[in-house]
Amino acid sequence: MGKFLIRRFLWLIPVILVVSGITFILMHSAPGGPWDRDLSARQVDPSTQRMLDEYFGLDKPLWRQFVAYIIGDIDKESKFDCGIICGDLGPSYRQRGMTIQQILFMPPEGKNFLYSRFGYSMRLGFYAIIFAIVLGIPAGIISALKQNTLIDYVSLFFVTVGISIPNFVMAIFLIIIFASTLHWVNIVPRSWDQVNVWILPAVILGFNTMARTARLTRSSMLEVMRQDYIRTARSKGLAEGLVIFRHMLKNSMIPVVTMLGPSLAFLVTGSFIIETMFGFPGMGRAFVTAITQRDYSMIMGTTIIYAVLVAIANVSVDVIYVFLDPRIKLD
């Protein structure tokens, strides 16, 4: 397993290079720049723009800017300024005096890491995946065991709704019901310290994953139920619960885990709209703001973090395969 993990993590290098290159090209192809308007919405004069370009190295050719960001470059004091290979995601062009690491990973004074932007997004994604697993897997199991009954039809109805409706449409619908009509929750809470304010964003974010988990669990269970070894286990007189949880469920979880691994990364990285709608102080909202402000370092740094999270999720899925099915070998 050690050799497998080393190989997979080495593959992160070309993945990050490709993702960074595509993001860099798209970012600089878009019209505008970080100095078009400053934070007070006043136009920056051309002389100031030239000074800022020179200070941040934006006056250099694009290929050199990319190499400087990835590997590093020589600064004005003839010292080597290392890039992301040393963990430096660069300075923010809009939040003056702040680096990307400070913006994303530094919590407010007196708070722990969970209160950083990255920590907020990780917690929201974790709550969403817990909601998806706790509801999706049991719903799929029950639907498969009760195939072609009313329970199955009702489950399939909610699964179809969850897969078909985008999360931002679901967000508007639930906000109208629970915030505007029933007044059970605030659309934009004053504080995220209370647990109840996390419920609505987590449910909205995880609803699609819950529906896909239930559908895949159902189809996988139905396939396993028809296997010969299940009939053999029942013919031996094993209890139905033992047949379901030891033989059916374990062997039907491989495709579900395959889907849930990247889904966890997606729930962390794909929460842009939900974070914006609820005023959530997470990484996705900062990413959307950086795009509108052309904060190049923030766009690049956040994209690379997302790429690394997705790659780690895929590696985790491969490792979990071994525990679900001993016949699978990593080396």
Per-residue DSSP letters for 168-235?
A: HHHHHHHIIIIIIIS--S-SS-S-S-SGGGGHHHHHHHHHHHHHHHHHHHHHHHHHHHTSHHHHHHHH
CATH of the domain at 137: 1.10.3720.10
CB 171, CB 204: distance < 8 Å = yes
Instruction: Please provide residue 270's backbone torsions phi and psi, each rounded to the nearest 5 degrees.
Output: -105, 25
Is 44 inside any structural domain? no
Is 310 inside any structural domain? yes
Asked if pLDDT for residue 296 goes beyond 70, the answer is yes
Is 250 inside any structural domain? yes
Question: Confidence class of residue 1 from pLDDT cuts 50, 70 and 90?
Answer: low
Is 58 inside any structural domain? no
The model's pLDDT over 86-144, given as tens digits with 9 standing for 90+, comes to 888 888 888 878 888 888 898 888 888 888 988 888 888 889 889 999 999 999 989 98
Is 188 inside any structural domain? yes
Q: Per-residue pLDDT averaged across 62-90, rounded?
A: 83
The model's pLDDT over 196-250, given as tens digits with 9 standing for 90+, comes to 888 888 898 889 889 999 999 998 888 888 877 787 877 877 777 777 777 787 7
Close Cβ partners of 48 (under 8 Å, ≥ 6 residues apart): 35
Q: Per-residue pLDDT averaged across 147-156, rounded?
A: 89
Which SS3 state, helix, strand or coil, does residue 130 take? helix
CB 235, CB 183: distance < 8 Å = no
Residue 91's beta-bridge partner residues? 99
Q: What percent of the chain has pLDDT over 70?
A: 93
pLDDT of residue 328: 64
Question: Confidence class of residue 270 from pLDDT cuts 50, 70 and 90?
Answer: low
C-alpha span between 12 and 14 (Å, rounded)? 6
Which SS3 state, helix, strand or coil, does residue 40 take? coil
The overall average pLDDT reported for the chain is: 82
Question: Confidence class of residue 150 from pLDDT cuts 50, 70 and 90?
Answer: very high
Asked if pLDDT for residue 269 goes beyond 80, the answer is no
Question: Which candidate, 15, 311, 321, places its Cα nearest to that of 331?
Answer: 321
Q: Per-residue pLDDT averaged across 311-317, rounded?
A: 80
Q: Per-residue pLDDT averaged across 3-18, rounded?
A: 82
Is 47 inside any structural domain? no
pTM of the model: 0.82
Is 18 inside any structural domain? no
User: What's at 209, amino acid-wise?
Assistant: T
pLDDT of residue 147: 86
pLDDT of residue 135: 92
pLDDT of residue 287: 86
pLDDT of residue 22: 92
Range of the domain at 206: 113-324
Cα atoms in the 13 Å half-sphere on the side-chain side of 140: 28
- Answer with the residue of higher pLDDT: 143 or 193: 143
pLDDT of residue 248: 81
Number of domains in the chain: 1
12-29 and 296-324 helices, crossing angle to 10°: 150
C-alpha span between 306 and 262 (Å, rounded)? 11
Is 183 inside any structural domain? yes
Q: Is 67 exposed, middle or buried (0-12, 13-18, 19+ CB in 10 A)?
A: middle
CB 59, CB 50: distance < 8 Å = yes
Q: Per-residue pLDDT averaged across 291-302, rounded?
A: 88
